[in-house]
Amino acid sequence: MAKIKGYVEVDIERCKGCNLCVVACPEDVLELQPREVNNKGYHYVYLKNPDNCTGCANCGYVCPDACLTIYRKKFA
């Protein structure tokens, strides 16, 4: 069976740090940036464990501002 690897691209400037994507992620990939903020003053999401991403897109479904783009790639 092919292994699927995922990757999440975050639009940092659109993110308002609502934390919904972090809670929705079953693989503990995302986390709010604890120290840095975007131009609007919000702590934004970043990939804490990018190697764990399966590309399930749960984070993208719950994001109210469409800040996340999810990619999936199959490996043999």
Given a contact cutoff of 8 angstroms between Cβ atoms, the answer to whether 36 and 52 are in contact is: no
CA 26, 75, 47, 58 dihedral sign is negative
pLDDT tens sequence across 24-72:
999 999 999 999 999 999 999 999 999 999 999 999 999 999 999 999 9
Q: Does the predicted model carry a pTM greater than 0.95?
A: no
Extents of the domains making up the chain: 3-75
E strand or H helix that includes residue 75: strand 68-75
Assigned CATH topology for domain 3-75: Alpha-Beta Plaits (3.30.70)
